[in-house]
Chains A and B, each alone.
Chain A
Amino acid sequence: MTTTSRWAGVLAAASLLLGACAPTAQPTSEVQTIVVTQVVAGTPVERVITATPEPTADRSAEPVSLRFTTWTGNEAQLAVLNAIGADYTALHPNVTVQFETIPFDEYPTKLSVQLAGGDPPDLGWIVEVVAANWIEAGVFEDVSDTLQAYPGYDYDDLLTAPLSLWARDESLYAVPFSTSPFFVLYNKDLFAAAGLETPDALLARGEWTYAAFADAAKAIAEQGGAGVYGYLGVEGGNMYAANLWQTLTPFLWAYGAEPWSADYATCGLNTPEAIEAVSLVQRMVVTDESTVPPGETASFTSGQIGMAFGQLSRIGALKDATFEWGIAPLPGGPAGARPTIGQAAIAVFRQGAHSDLAADFLAFMTTEANVARLAQFWPPIRQSVLDSGVIAQNYPAVDAASLDAAVVAGIANGNVVPSHPDFAKLDLALRPSFDQLWAEGADVQTLMNQACESGATFFKP
């Protein structure tokens, strides 16, 4: 470490439960590096994180307030965000960061109205589903150069595959703060009652496939009787409506199908592989009646559901569960296993009044040290933070080996559910075919042909 006064920084071990870290000394205007202590697998490890002495832009001493929109109202999460903002202010006393909460349901709508009104935030959280559309519309600033030039940033530490949704050629339009793989939450009690082997046991033998998944769901529903189902779809969501693509995509990928090609040129829903995958889901819903039927609501936490697709954010709700549960990676299929991830990212708005400074703050916020702090709530996209064992530390209630298999490997190798620049319109065009899929006697091939025909306008290179 060179010059400079350091932020002698050691945060109390208690605050580092999470492998998170924070500076401890009072910063001065000469500060160039931060030293933090991070607890990795129970051992304190000192890390040196370089910070720029001044912002890369807007070097004037004029007071600047960066507006940062999020959808979290969780006080603990906001406390971490504000702490990062305060650390940035410590380095750059003329800059403050104001975090503004907009409820998730209204988030894209309110943000689009702010953009239209010429009053966008400087930075904001962005959910994956609007990524392609908003990037194509030129809403976000390309932050690639700023990140790569930021001292000590280690750009190559960002995992490539999960970053791909936000990258175009050499440009990068947002940095994911949450890269959360889907996994199978399963009720051990219901598996035992149905006399089934657990997904972990099947996984160990290499037999954890969607065919086995469907068979297990059927057995659980049959054994459990009324009100007990083998499969729910996405926990906290609706597999027939808002979470249709998150539910279907893992099945499609496991069978070697894509809903549409990466260049949006062709529809893949009526290929033989896709038909096989969709037929399996239809069998579970219509023939086996092993899934929660359309129109009914249920939750894995009720103890009446054998399996659900879950994410780490759902684990907290299970702390008072009266049944034994576990997690397993998503099953595989003829094309192998391909993890599916959900993402949310931080973007800098091009129209913002301080976009250069906002990009600088984004770089600061996504350095290794700050990603480690954020990782107590949101699965990180940095390989180094992932390797630090932060996930296992934050979720002690879950078996560490299962977390490694279902989450850590999922983040490193996963892909985001396919997006499309005209996703809303495409979804509207395809939806009627899928809604008809859940009726008795519906022909999958016919409906998938119909879906591809309905969406033909949007499948052009």
Chain B
Amino acid sequence: MSLSQNARRRWPVLTLAQQDAWVGFLFVLPRLLGFLIFALAPLVAVFVFSFEHRNLLTAQATFAGLDNYHTMVETDPVFRRMALNTLIFSAGLVPLNVLLAFSLAVMLAAPFRGVTIFRTLFFAPVVTSTAAWVIVWTFILQGDQGPLNQLLALIGIQGPNWLREPASAMGAVIVTRVIKTVGLNMVIFLAALQDLPRELVEAARVDGAEQLQVVRHIILPFLAPSLVLVVIITLIGSLNIFDHILLLTNGGPANATMVLAFYVYFSAFKTYEIGYASAIAVVLFLTALTLTAVQWALRRRVVYLET
């Protein structure tokens, strides 16, 4: 006897539709409670804390109104620097990641000998722990003794001390992050490409289309829904970047790689200003939400095949 039939027996006053609805609700209730307690409640708490002067050490809190937001915008030069760093990081990471993932997917969509090896190779960093990844790259990107610079020296180029010079550190962080995460986006594009009707490509080729034209007029429009998804998740990921930077540069040198998520951590757990940290987190959250909403609103202009 099914659960639904049992429910109907116990609740004879409810209509069948209502009984089904209740049973369905009971099934999702554990997940819903988990979301309310562990996701929504902390989110609400962060909003509330952002309007307080709250110290983590003393656990004392007083209402602050908009003080934290005022400090952030008007008097904290560190926040402005972090916001700029976050902008630079996202502006570098998102296009690079999406373009590379798209290119790899197009190249690895064709069935050729060894394609699985290449797909695995590019996806492997995604499942590698960030700590291990960072240790390897810290070694590779050392100054004169680093393998990369020794390689460059062979062709007469003196590389910088990648992670220790402000001019190169952010670039190094972006590139190492792109290589770490590009495999996931590549898989999303690859999955979408599996559904691409081959006759469309073949017809285009019969009509004399070059590879670039096929990509531009057939593959790209077909992948547009996936593209929007990939851009959104990559952008959100770029705004939340934390562990990678903490381990690779710890925000240095000269605070050149310190981003807003890092500043949230710093304010909460280094200076114990949990109210101020919450305000920064709210700004970060609203930024991600706004950018996602804008992209979602714009999707109809680029997505032709959404159903």
Are B58 and A294 in contact, CB atoms less than 8 angstroms apart? no
Q: Does A139 have its Cβ within 8 Å of any Cβ on chain B?
A: yes
Q: Does B271 have its Cβ within 8 Å of any Cβ on chain A?
A: yes
Selected from B59, B254, B266, B274, the residue in CB contact (under 8 A) with A436 is B254
Are B164 and A112 in contact, CB atoms less than 8 angstroms apart? no
Q: Does B240 have its Cβ within 8 Å of any Cβ on chain A?
A: no
Q: Does B306 have its Cβ within 8 Å of any Cβ on chain A?
A: no
Given the interface pairs A116-B274, A227-B145, the reply to whether A431 lies near B56 with Cβ below 8 Å is no
Closest residue of A by beta carbon distance from B54: A116
Given the interface pairs A137-B58, A240-B164, A295-B164, the reply to whether A431 lies near B269 with Cβ below 8 Å is no
Binding-face segment, B85-93, B136-144, B178-186, B292-300: B136-144
Q: Does B272 have its Cβ within 8 Å of any Cβ on chain A?
A: yes
Min C-beta distance of B267 to chain A, whole Å: 9
Selected from B138, B254, B272, the residue in CB contact (under 8 A) with A112 is B272
Selected from A293, A431, A439, the residue in CB contact (under 8 A) with B144 is A293
Q: Does A336 have its Cβ within 8 Å of any Cβ on chain B?
A: no
Are B59 and A435 in contact, CB atoms less than 8 angstroms apart? no
Distance in angstroms between the alpha carbons of A296 and B141 in the assembled complex? 9
Residues of A within 8 A of B58 (CB): 115, 137-139
Binding-face segment, A44-52, A365-373, A420-428: A420-428
Selected from A112, A227, A241, A428, the residue in CB contact (under 8 A) with B57 is A112
CB under 8 Å from chain A, chain B span 267-282: 269-272, 274
Distance in angstroms between the alpha carbons of A133 and B57 in the assembled complex? 10
CB under 8 Å from chain B, chain A span 65-88: none
Q: Does B253 have its Cβ within 8 Å of any Cβ on chain A?
A: yes
Min C-beta distance of B244 to chain A, whole Å: 17
Residues of A within 8 A of B166 (CB): 435-436
Q: Does B55 have its Cβ within 8 Å of any Cβ on chain A?
A: yes
Q: Does B130 have its Cβ within 8 Å of any Cβ on chain A?
A: no
CB under 8 Å from chain B, chain A span 219-237: 226-227
Residues of A within 8 A of B274 (CB): 116
Distance in angstroms between the alpha carbons of A241 and B164 in the assembled complex? 10
Min C-beta distance of A452 to chain B, whole Å: 15
Distance in angstroms between the alpha carbons of A241 and B46 in the assembled complex? 31
Q: Does A118 have its Cβ within 8 Å of any Cβ on chain B?
A: yes
Residue among A226, A227, A422, A435 with most chain B CB within 10 A: A435
Are A294 and B78 in contact, CB atoms less than 8 angstroms apart? no
Are A296 and B59 in contact, CB atoms less than 8 angstroms apart? no
Are A295 and B56 in contact, CB atoms less than 8 angstroms apart? no
Distance in angstroms between the alpha carbons of A118 and B57 in the assembled complex? 10
Q: Does A109 have its Cβ within 8 Å of any Cβ on chain B?
A: yes
Given the interface pairs A424-B266, A424-B270, the reply to whether A431 lies near B161 with Cβ below 8 Å is no
Distance in angstroms between the alpha carbons of A240 and B274 in the assembled complex? 28
Q: Does B123 have its Cβ within 8 Å of any Cβ on chain A?
A: no
Give the interface size bracket for A toward B: 20 to 34
Min C-beta distance of A230 to chain B, whole Å: 16
Q: Does B51 have its Cβ within 8 Å of any Cβ on chain A?
A: no
CB under 8 Å from chain A, chain B span 25-60: 55-59
Selected from A109, A139, A295, the residue in CB contact (under 8 A) with B161 is A295
Are B164 and A294 in contact, CB atoms less than 8 angstroms apart? yes
Q: Does B252 have its Cβ within 8 Å of any Cβ on chain A?
A: yes
Residues of A within 8 A of B255 (CB): 428, 431-432, 435
Are A439 and B165 in contact, CB atoms less than 8 angstroms apart? yes
Are A112 and B56 in contact, CB atoms less than 8 angstroms apart? yes
Residues of B within 8 A of A432 (CB): 253-255
Q: Does A166 have its Cβ within 8 Å of any Cβ on chain B?
A: no
CB under 8 Å from chain B, chain A span 115-136: 115-118, 133-134
Are B271 and A424 in contact, CB atoms less than 8 angstroms apart? yes
Distance in angstroms between the alpha carbons of A438 and B253 in the assembled complex? 10
Min C-beta distance of B139 to chain A, whole Å: 8
Selected from B57, B141, B146, the residue in CB contact (under 8 A) with A116 is B57
Closest residue of B by beta carbon distance from A295: B164
Are B162 and A295 in contact, CB atoms less than 8 angstroms apart? yes
Closest residue of B by beta carbon distance from A439: B165
Given the interface pairs A115-B59, A240-B164, the reply to whether A295 lies near B252 with Cβ below 8 Å is no
Distance in angstroms between the alpha carbons of A428 and B57 in the assembled complex? 20
Closest residue of B by beta carbon distance from A351: B59
Q: Does B176 have its Cβ within 8 Å of any Cβ on chain A?
A: no
Min C-beta distance of B58 to chain A, whole Å: 5
Distance in angstroms between the alpha carbons of A241 and B252 in the assembled complex? 9
Are B141 and A295 in contact, CB atoms less than 8 angstroms apart? yes
Q: Does A93 have its Cβ within 8 Å of any Cβ on chain B?
A: no
Selected from A117, A227, A295, the residue in CB contact (under 8 A) with B163 is A295
Residues of B within 8 A of A297 (CB): 138, 142
Min C-beta distance of B163 to chain A, whole Å: 5
Residues of B within 8 A of A425 (CB): 271
Residues of B within 8 A of A109 (CB): 269
Are B142 and A431 in contact, CB atoms less than 8 angstroms apart? no
Distance in angstroms between the alpha carbons of A138 and B25 in the assembled complex? 49
Selected from A118, A226, A294, A295, the residue in CB contact (under 8 A) with B59 is A118
CB under 8 Å from chain B, chain A span 272-325: 293-297
Are B143 and A295 in contact, CB atoms less than 8 angstroms apart? yes
The proximity string for B residues 167-195 relative to A, scoring 1 for CB distances below 8 Å and 0 otherwise, is: 00000000000000000000000000000
Residues of A within 8 A of B144 (CB): 293
Closest residue of B by beta carbon distance from A296: B142
Distance in angstroms between the alpha carbons of A178 and B166 in the assembled complex? 37
Residues of A within 8 A of B271 (CB): 422, 424-425
Residues of A within 8 A of B254 (CB): 431-432, 435-436
The proximity string for B residues 112-139 relative to A, scoring 1 for CB distances below 8 Å and 0 otherwise, is: 0000000000000000000000000010
Residues of A within 8 A of B161 (CB): 293-295
A-B contact pairs, 23 of them (CB 8 A): A109-B269, A112-B56, A112-B57, A112-B272, A115-B57, A134-B57, A137-B58, A241-B250, A295-B138, A295-B143, A295-B146, A295-B162, A296-B145, A428-B78, A428-B255, A432-B253, A432-B254, A435-B252, A435-B255, A436-B166, A436-B253, A438-B164, A439-B165
Closest 9 CB pairs of A and B: A432-B254, A435-B253, A294-B164, A424-B270, A295-B164, A435-B254, A137-B57, A109-B269, A116-B56
